[in-house]
Chain A
Amino acid sequence: SPPPKCQMTISSIVMTLLFGDRKEWADLEPVPQDDGPNPVVKIAYSEKFSDVYDYFRALLKNDEKTERAFALTADAIDLNAANYTVWHYRRVLLQALSKDLKEEMKYITNIIEEQPKNYQVWHHRRMVVEWLNDPSEELRFIADILSQDAKNYHAWQHRQWVIQEYKLWDNELEFVENLLEEDVRNNSAWNQRHFVISHTTGFSDPAVVEREIQYCLNQIRKAPHNESAWNYLKGMLQDRGLSSQPGLLERVLELKETHCSPYLLAFLFDCYEDALENITQKEKVEEEEQKETLRKALEICRLLAQEKDTIRKEYWEFLGRSLRNKYGNGALSDEPMAENPEPSISASQSQEAS
């Protein structure tokens, strides 16, 4: 009989027999993929890939729950870690064969290190942690993954799940601050900051809010064009209203001289808009103040649309029109009309009734 075929992979010096040539598998008839007579999106699988998956399909068909089936799932995963059917089957086998889940943790740790941007591997880890009811390795493991890619979405998702499920809040704010020290522009870390605080002290405590404002302004002084810090400042205060925080507007106006940015200007706009929303029509002096606030807000819109943030021209012009429509009135008609007419029709545009 011809000698069994071997596969030598470039990435390792291990030679492995195809399952089709292994004596221990001789009893199982492999099941080729049923793509039909005229396949589409037909993948030119390697011989190894077809071999492993032909045997996987056979196991699935027979609902085989054996050690050899478990071993094969690792090969199938190695060839395509996104095959969620294989992962599901592996989990069925883990339970049916009462496999050592601590060993499985080691396995999944290695797989995630190799392929950290895959959905299935993280979900599998979550299942094993739940079965073991043991989160003790998680924060350190996730920190390691984040040290390689500080914005890995799956890693953050797993981290938030672990922290919330097992109430591991205690050191997380410190963890976040360290990450922000390394990269103050890491928006994932800013999000985690919001996550920790909103689930622990909350943002109602004025001492917390003042501390966070202080923190933001310090980061802004260090890196003025960091959108994350400005978004966090606004995001933290917007429910209560930006004008509810006394002295904040003044502090930002101070920063405008030396640390200006489109984000600072947008924040000022938001402050003015919030002030307009909350103005009470009690005294005549309020009406002058309102007109002045509106004027300042519209001037910022114009500045952003025409000079400082032109990529968002359409948006800033819309906001200007909206604001004027809402708070402007006939008394303002002798003010110079801000240049926010509809953009002129370009030559390349056509018009058809839809």
Chain B
Amino acid sequence: MSVYKQIHSLPQPTLLREQHYQYLKKGLRHLSDAYECLDASRPWLCFWILHSLELLQEPIPAAVASDVCQFLARCQSPTGGFAGGPGQHAHLAPTYAAVNALCIIGTDEAYNVIDREKLLDFLWSVKQPDGSFVMHVGGEVDVRSAYCAASVASLTNILTPKLFENTTNWILSCQNWEGGLSGVPGLEAHGGYTFCGTAALVILGKEHMLDLKALLRWVVSRQMRFEGGFQGRCNKLVDGCYSFWQAGLLPLLHRALYKEGESELSQQRWMFEQQALQEYILLCCQNPTGGLLDKPGKSRDFYHTCYCLSGLSIAQHFGNMDNHYEVILGKEENRLAPTHPVYNICPEKVAQALQHFLRMPVPEVSRQPGG
């Protein structure tokens, strides 16, 4: 690839910061009717856009931040948790997105939106006896729900061992013969579900119970040798969003292996080809008018904008206890802020939220588990 550039004198790949910023700034306020299909995912739109802006290190004006807080407050269900829009039922996915968005904003107004007692009631209402969680009352089970529940419970300090009783074993039963994790036990290993299951176990402190070597082999094998990006499943096509779901597993596994006493880990690189992933994102996943996408020929959207940028950040930043190495393809201006590989918001925002909520007592349970 670099020889081609030398020969053809191509400019260095450039992150189209200004174009992405305008696309995001507009979307945070107004979306066309093409977004009717996401009318039950509006907290997601808040998270995807706010996280993209924080990665680009673009400040969120205080008035906008306050408006987001008030909107998400309207998405909060009277029985706890957050819904896809005002007046809808609570669901773990928009709950995850809303809590993350509020933590990105990180003001007291944002933190105060969350009704912690009711949130805990909601989590109990979707908990199943086998350790899994349904995504919403009367809804489906898959490993995303465990991640959403663990993420919001840990950030807001409402997590108790009882809430996640049996959850570890249920998640472990999702690791299959391929080494990755499936959505429910028995299915094919898949990047999105593997990320959710692994990150949930990291939050619960149980990631060492996975077959880490098999998982590592599976995820590194998902990087495409020609495209440089990642596929979601074996023998499927590359997609920019897996830049986060798949590549984001390498920091998690690095730390897990380190904790297990692995002595031969690199001190400078994640175990994937960081430069190749950056090349794929910058050369193949940018819309020239702003926004990022799956692969050339596909349309831009805020989901791909968020996860392509998140993956680019992972590929740029290596960090462990002692050091922080950067690998920036192209100009220094391509550099994004680092992102936390468990929560996918910036590490400072994670620390700040934890600090805020750890001062509060864990709420008493007022409802019984569902199922």
A45 touches B266 (CB 8 A): no
B188 touches A88 (CB 8 A): no
Which residues of A in the span 269-300 have a Cβ within 8 Å of any Cβ on B? none
Measured between alpha carbons, how far is A246 from B316 in the docked complex, in Å? Answer: 45
Nearest-neighbour CB distance to chain B for A293, whole angstroms, equals 18
B228 touches A311 (CB 8 A): yes
Of the stretches B14-22, B132-140, B157-165, B241-249, the one at the interface is B132-140
A312 near B: Cβ within 8 Å?
A: yes
Contact A354 to B322, CB < 8 A, known contacts A43-B35, A84-B89: yes
Query: Looking across the interface, which residue of chain B has its beta carbon closest to that of A262?
Result: B225
Measured between alpha carbons, how far is A127 from B272 in the docked complex, in Å? Answer: 42
Return chain B residues, CB-CB under 8 Å to A79.
36
A231 touches B178 (CB 8 A): yes
B234 near A: Cβ within 8 Å?
A: yes
Query: Looking across the interface, which residue of chain B has its beta carbon closest to that of A191?
Result: B188
Contact A151 to B236, CB < 8 A, known contacts A160-B186, A315-B271: yes
Of the stretches A12-20, A34-42, A66-74, A329-337, the one at the interface is A34-42
Measured between alpha carbons, how far is A227 from B178 in the docked complex, in Å? Answer: 11
Nearest-neighbour CB distance to chain B for A267, whole angstroms, equals 11
B323 touches A353 (CB 8 A): yes
B273 touches A34 (CB 8 A): no
A342 near B: Cβ within 8 Å?
A: yes
B70 near A: Cβ within 8 Å?
A: yes
Q: Pick the contact of B327: A31, A227, A318, A348 (CB < 8 A).
A: A348
Contact A43 to B319, CB < 8 A, known contacts A195-B186, A349-B326: no
Return chain B residues, CB-CB under 8 Å to A123.
139-140
A82 near B: Cβ within 8 Å?
A: yes
Return chain B residues, CB-CB under 8 Å to A110.
none
Size of B's binding interface in residues, CB under 8 A: 88
Of the stretches B24-32, B111-119, B359-367, the one at the interface is B24-32
Q: Pick the contact of A39: B71, B189, B216, B220 (CB < 8 A).
A: B71
Chain A 92-119 interface 0/1 with B at a Cβ cutoff of 8 Å (1 = within) = 0000000000000000000000000001
B358 near A: Cβ within 8 Å?
A: no
Measured between alpha carbons, how far is A227 from B231 in the docked complex, in Å? Answer: 13
Query: Looking across the interface, which residue of chain B has its beta carbon closest to that of A321?
Result: B264
A259 near B: Cβ within 8 Å?
A: no
B40 touches A322 (CB 8 A): no
B327 touches A346 (CB 8 A): yes
Which residues of A in the span 33-61 have a Cβ within 8 Å of any Cβ on B? 33-36, 38-46, 49, 53, 57, 60
Return chain A residues, CB-CB under 8 Å to B326.
348-350
Query: Looking across the interface, which residue of chain B has its beta carbon closest to that of A203?
Result: B177
A84 touches B266 (CB 8 A): no
Which residues of A in the span 140-162 have a Cβ within 8 Å of any Cβ on B? 151, 153, 156-157, 160
Return chain B residues, CB-CB under 8 Å to A122.
140
Query: Looking across the interface, which residue of chain B has its beta carbon closest to that of A351?
Result: B323
Chain A 307-331 interface 0/1 with B at a Cβ cutoff of 8 Å (1 = within) = 0011111110010011001000000
A91 near B: Cβ within 8 Å?
A: yes
Contact A46 to B136, CB < 8 A, known contacts A34-B87, A85-B83: no
B270 touches A36 (CB 8 A): no
Return chain B residues, CB-CB under 8 Å to A231.
177-178, 234
Contact A228 to B235, CB < 8 A, known contacts A40-B29, A43-B36: yes
Chain B 53-72 interface 0/1 with A at a Cβ cutoff of 8 Å (1 = within) = 00000000001100110110
Return chain B residues, CB-CB under 8 Å to A84.
40, 84, 88-89, 91, 135-136, 139
Of the stretches A22-30, A131-139, A181-189, A250-258, the one at the interface is A181-189
17 pairs, A vs B, C-beta closer than 8 Å: A38-B70, A41-B71, A43-B33, A43-B39, A80-B36, A82-B38, A82-B40, A84-B40, A85-B88, A123-B139, A187-B235, A191-B176, A191-B189, A231-B178, A310-B273, A325-B264, A351-B323
